[in-house]
Amino acid sequence: MAECYADGDYAESFAGFAGNRPLADVDPEMAALIQREKRRQFEGIELIASENFTSRAVEETLSSCFTNKYSEGQVGARYYGGNEVIDDMEALVQARALECFGLNASEWGVNVQPYSGSTANFALYTGILQPHDRIMGLDLPSGGHLTHGFYTAKKKISATSVFFESLPYQVERETGLIDYAKLRATAMVFRPKLLICGASAYARDWDFKTLRSIADDCGAMLLCDMAHISGLVAAREASNPFELCDVVTSTTHKSLRGPRQGLIFYRVGGDRCLGLAESINQAVFPGCQGGPHNNTIAALGVALKEAMTPEFKAYIVQVRANARALAAALMEAGYTLVTGGTDNHLVLWDLRPEGVTGSKMEKVCDLAHITLNKNAVCGDTSALTPGGVRVGTPAMTSRGLKEEDFVAVAGFLGRALKICAAVQKDTGKKMKDFVPVVEKDPRVAELREDVHTFSKRFPMPGGVM
């Protein structure tokens, strides 16, 4: 029980104190669920592009006593007492966030308190926009994100589209690439106050120079949501949004391999940035959230330190190499990838030429313990039955997979697709008829066993729980 106390603080009279009992004693049911999830992650192949496996050091910090402290406000200006250690911790994380991305504190500031990337985005909008101001972001079926203003003909889906006037831009249907010329023409007519770049399912790099030019010409601020590529940016393996953007947001649990948290970077100094820091910080608190999650902020600090190591640089290089190997293997097998390949950590697989929906492919893969997600491709009208799947390499690269291993993964995916097509041929296209049959298909069980055998060869990051 001494491990529950700071060095030298434990006394024998504390023995048996209820608050120091381990989880297995207090809640065996929850402990068993954790073990089940741990086994699921170890035995399966994790290909969701927005997921990763954090280190043991990050997990230990997440479960630290920092979770106990309330600290509304900013460093040195809190609404609660007892925050001297929290202030030191948050200041350290802010400094590491700037250092990790090569930023000078005289030119950039950062808020490390947002609970998530979505919270970071909405807080940023709240800080720099007025209700009904105009925004432009990449359309969701083109690879964008909900928080960039997505809506349909029948409903405003994201709160961003409820409170602001949104006009999404799109990729070209033939190439899957962003049509910057069309974006410029549309922006000059719509005149957004904020132009958003960044995506959740776009496999190519961004042309920040052109985006900056468009933003300047139409009088907009330029935001990059680098949630998916922040690890690549930190490792200098993607175009740098900080060179030309006014504001940058990110999650921290994807390619950056940290806890689930959000970041807002903003320029300081100069007439264009006057008051930006104050308006954004006040939008985070008290505008959009209350007390920060200090254990998560501290864990982010650990992840940022890890991201500044040569080992992390090598990891990101491998992430990209694995994505290219996966893309090449799928295309060699005759399959269609949106944009015809990848520059980053993911591929977007268009299943429409195979006559199969992304939802069916996701279901078969799930049964085989291959985790990926159905994803819209340009031209889709339904997010529930989209025409593609998104496949990412960060998580399994964290387990040590190399290019040849992702060629094997492509083979597993090909088998899953063949099962999907064969079952659909017998059952028809309705999901309610497809699922009961595919759940009992012996080919799925065989694939699952092969996946387990493959996945168990690789170590798993993380802690004892």
Confidence class for position 256, pLDDT limits 50, 70, 90: very high
Residue 315 is among the residues annotated as catalytic for this protein: no
Confidence class for position 416, pLDDT limits 50, 70, 90: very high
Which pLDDT score is estimated for 293?
Answer: 98
Contact in structure between 130 and 283 (CB atoms under 8 Å): no
Cβ within 8 Å of residue 16, ≥6 positions away:
none
Other beta carbons less than 10 A from residue 427's beta carbon: 17
Ramachandran angles phi, psi of 110, nearest 5°: -150, 140
Decide if pLDDT at 184 tops 70: yes
In whole angstroms, how far apart are CA 354 and each of 6, 179, 256, 349, 357? Answer: 60, 27, 34, 11, 9
Give bridge partners of residue 349 from the DSSP assignment: 337, 389
- Return d(Cα 167, Cα 231) in angstroms, integer: 29
- Return d(Cα 79, Cα 73) in angstroms, integer: 6
Ramachandran angles phi, psi of 248, nearest 5°: -140, 130
**For residue 50, which of 228, 258, 205 has the smallest C-alpha distance?**
228
pLDDT tens digits for range 203-223: 999 999 999 999 999 999 999
Which pLDDT score is estimated for 465?
Answer: 64
- Marked catalytic residue, from 72, 133, 366, 433: 72
- Marked catalytic residue, from 156, 260, 313, 352: 260
Residue 254 is among the residues annotated as catalytic for this protein: yes
Confidence class for position 156, pLDDT limits 50, 70, 90: confident
Residue 70 is among the residues annotated as catalytic for this protein: yes
Residue 429 is among the residues annotated as catalytic for this protein: no
- Return d(Cα 98, Cα 115) in angstroms, integer: 19
- Return d(Cα 347, Cα 330) in angstroms, integer: 10
- Marked catalytic residue, from 186, 251, 296, 357: 251
3-state SS assignment for residue 375: strand
Residue 260 is among the residues annotated as catalytic for this protein: yes
Other beta carbons less than 10 A from residue 328's beta carbon: 18
Cβ within 8 Å of residue 247, ≥6 positions away:
124, 128, 221, 222, 223, 224, 264, 265, 266, 267, 276, 280
Average model confidence (pLDDT) for the chain? 95
- Marked catalytic residue, from 10, 70, 151, 180: 70
pLDDT tens digits for range 54-93: 999 999 999 999 999 999 999 999 999 999 999 999 999 9
Share of the chain above pLDDT 70, in %: 99
DSSP state of 169: B
Contact in structure between 195 and 180 (CB atoms under 8 Å): no
Q: Which whole number is the average pLDDT over 427-450?
A: 97
Residue 186 is among the residues annotated as catalytic for this protein: no
Cβ within 8 Å of residue 383, ≥6 positions away:
140, 376
**For residue 221, which of 198, 241, 192, 250 has the smallest C-alpha distance?**
192
- Marked catalytic residue, from 59, 90, 139, 225: 225
DSSP secondary structure string for all residues of 395-425: HHHHTT--HHHHHHHHHHHHHHHHHHHHHHH
Stated as kind and residue range, the H or E segment containing 215 is: helix 208-218
Angle CA(25)–CA(30)–CA(33) in degrees, nearest 5?
Answer: 125
Tell me the pTM: 0.95
Better pLDDT: 155 or 240: 240
**For residue 298, which of 81, 76, 96, 5 has the smallest C-alpha distance?**
96
Hey, what domains does the chain have and what are their CATH numbers?
65-307 (3.40.640.10), 318-455 (3.90.1150.10)
